Amino acid sequence: MTTAQAVASLSEIAPGRVTCGIGVGDRTTLEMLGYELKEPLQAIRESVELIRKMLSGETVQYQGAKFNVKGGKFNFKVQTRIPIYIGAQGPKMLRLASQIGDGVLINASHPLDVEDAMKHIRLGVEESGKDLESLDVAAYTSISIDRDARKAEKAVKPVVAYIAAGSPHLILDKHGIPAHLADEIRSDITKGKWGEAFAKVTPEMIEAFSICGTPETCVEKIHALAKLGVTQVVAGSPLGLNVRESIDLLGVVVLPSFM
């Protein structure tokens, strides 16, 4: 309900420009906070149902396995429809996201992962009776861009460390990343050993879990994702060592290549 209220309030300020993004969260971060990741599919399904009911303006009576709401209702009307995008990485979550979401946020930056994800997205779309064209498929990527590729790599290492630490062994194996190394990074992060964790990030991890490099390299990598069915790319952190300069490069050099 808090999420629904937050996006509805934002919509009052920026009608037609607000999207609700939801996901189960990062395993490593949840562990640090003392939370156990349990029944994520059910949690997402119920969350989306509840958010939609609240945004529709109805008085919500809801009894689920995860949530129980009695008489929840906004005291104002949401003027514009707010689409819900679901973050997903595993096969089951990708299928669910494509079935019940307005958009899917694929937590992937590499063509191999996007190609696999699209198989599950297509299956979910078919099962729900929707058209793939009606679904926005967004690649939620870690982007680091700089005229100097080495600076881009330096900036992206902390983010890639978290991604590698939270990635299933199946994903790690696909990219030739030793599972024990990712486990070591996760252990370092949970213990607050940031420097040790970031130092263990390899070029293979950067290649697998980010779009990183010069503007020309980033354009090439984004084009590769578009060919697989991605309809938009979300530029996630870190963007670069100098965020202002990186934003300018994205706007002046990268975006015009897709217009």
Predicted pLDDT at 120: 96
State the Cα–Cα distance between residues 149 and 147, nearest whole angstrom. 6
CB contact set of 119 (below 8 Å; sequence gap of 6+): none
pLDDT tens track for 168-222: 888 899 999 999 999 999 999 989 999 999 999 999 999 999 999 999 999 999 9
pLDDT tens, 28-51? Answer: 677 777 777 778 899 999 999 999
What residue segments make up the domains of the chain, in order of their start? 1-82
Summarised one tens digit per residue, pLDDT across range 134-178 is: 999 999 999 999 999 999 999 999 999 999 998 888 889 999 999
Structure tokens at 93: 């979550």
Please tell me what DSSP assigns to residue 164. Answer: H
Non-local CB neighbours of 127 within 8 Å, separated by 6+ positions: 95, 99
Question: What does the block give as tokens for 173?
Answer: 């194996």
pLDDT digits (tens, 9 = 90+) for 54-92: 898 888 888 887 888 887 777 778 888 999 999 998 899
Residue 2 pLDDT class (50, 70, 90 cuts): confident
Tell me whether the omega of the peptide bond preceding residue 238 falls within 30 degrees of 0, making it cis: yes
Sign of CA dihedral 10, 14, 19, 23: negative
Mean pLDDT of the chain: 91
Report d(CA 164, CA 186) in Å as an integer: 8
pLDDT at 31: 72
